Amino acid sequence: MARSAVLRHLDRRAADLHLGPAYEPWAQSMGRAATPHPFLVRRLQEWTLFRAIALRQSWCPDALLASSDWLQRKASTGSNADVLELLAERGRTKRIRNTARTGLKNQ
């Protein structure tokens, strides 16, 4: 139950902060606190990858392909054509691939 509450907090704060400069110091602090919890560390890493994609910074396609369904679904609803093309072709699930294809068609 406690991990679920922390995850919910992490997701809410990351959603609020990921596009701004306050994200980086918050993520570093949260990363130190989450170190003993691999699932929380991974979610924070995925938020950082999502941030890089959203801000059109450099990101690693292999990291996106190795990410969870959660991140791939979230990224497949965005507008980054490189991400949509990658997920339309190699997304983890049929739902992710279809969502990415729809996003490409709508661009």
Mean pLDDT by 10 residues, the chain (107 residues): 86 97 97 93 98 97 98 96 98 98 95
Examine the fold and report which residue of 23, 38, 59 is the final residue of a domain before the chain moves on. Answer: 59
pTM value is 0.94
| Pair (39, 28) in one structural domain | yes
- Sorted by sequence, the CB contacts under 8 Å of residue 41 that are 6+ apart come out as 31, 34, 35
Residues in contact with 43: Cβ distance below 8 Å, sequence separation at least 6, in sequence order: 7, 10, 11, 70
Residue 3: per-residue pLDDT: 80
The CA distance from 96 to 107, in Å, is: 17
Compute the distance between CA of residue 104 and CA of residue 102 in angstroms, rounded to an integer: 5
Distance (Å, rounded) from C-alpha 48 to C-alpha 50?
Answer: 5
Considering the domain architecture, whether residues 34 and 79 belong to the same structural domain is answered as no
Q: Residue written as tokens 């059109």?
A: 56
Shared domain for 9 and 31, answered yes or no, is yes
